[in-house]
Amino acid sequence: MSEIVRLRVESQNDRIVQVCENKGITMGELAELLGWYKGTLSRIVNLWVVATDDQKMQIAAILLEPIDYLFPETLDTAISEGVFPHCAVKIDELQIIAMTEARWHC
C-alpha cells in the first residue's frame, strides 16, 4: 500500500527554547538582544545549521548558561551530518486508521 501522509518531525534545540521560556524571552526578543535577524537565530534553534563558536558564546552569554549545555558536541555532529532536516516518516492508510482508532482508546 502506498503512503498517503508524510509527517515531518519538528526539531529544535529544546535547551535554548526552554531557557528562553523560563526567562520569559521570546525567540524574537533573543534575536533582538543578539542584534541578529530572526532568521539567523531560527536556523540555529531549528537545527538547520551549526552555530559558530562566536554565535554560541553570544547566546550563552545572554541566556547565562554554559555553552556545553546549550550546544553539546553530539548535537553539533548530528546537525553537521544533516540528521534533523530529514526527519520525516511516511504513513499509509492502514497506519492512519490505526492512529485514528488508538486516539479513541487513550
Domain extents for the chain?
Answer: 3-103
What's the grid cell of residue 51?
552555530
Scored b (16 or more CB within 10 A) or e, 25-57 reads eebeebbeebebebeebbebbbbeebbeeebbe
User: Is residue 79 packed enough to be buried (19+ CB in 10 Å), middle (13-18) or exposed (0-12)?
Assistant: buried
Mean pLDDT over all residues of the chain?
86
Render pLDDT for 37-82 as a digit per residue (tens, 0 to 9): 999 999 999 998 999 999 999 999 999 999 999 999 999 988 888 7
pTM recorded for the entire structure: 0.75
Q: Which CATH number fits domain 3-103: 1.10.287.610, 1.10.3720.10, 3.40.50.720, 1.10.260.40?
A: 1.10.260.40
pLDDT of residue 8: 67
In whole angstroms, what is the distance from residue 65 CA to residue 15 CA?
Answer: 10
pLDDT of residue 45: 95
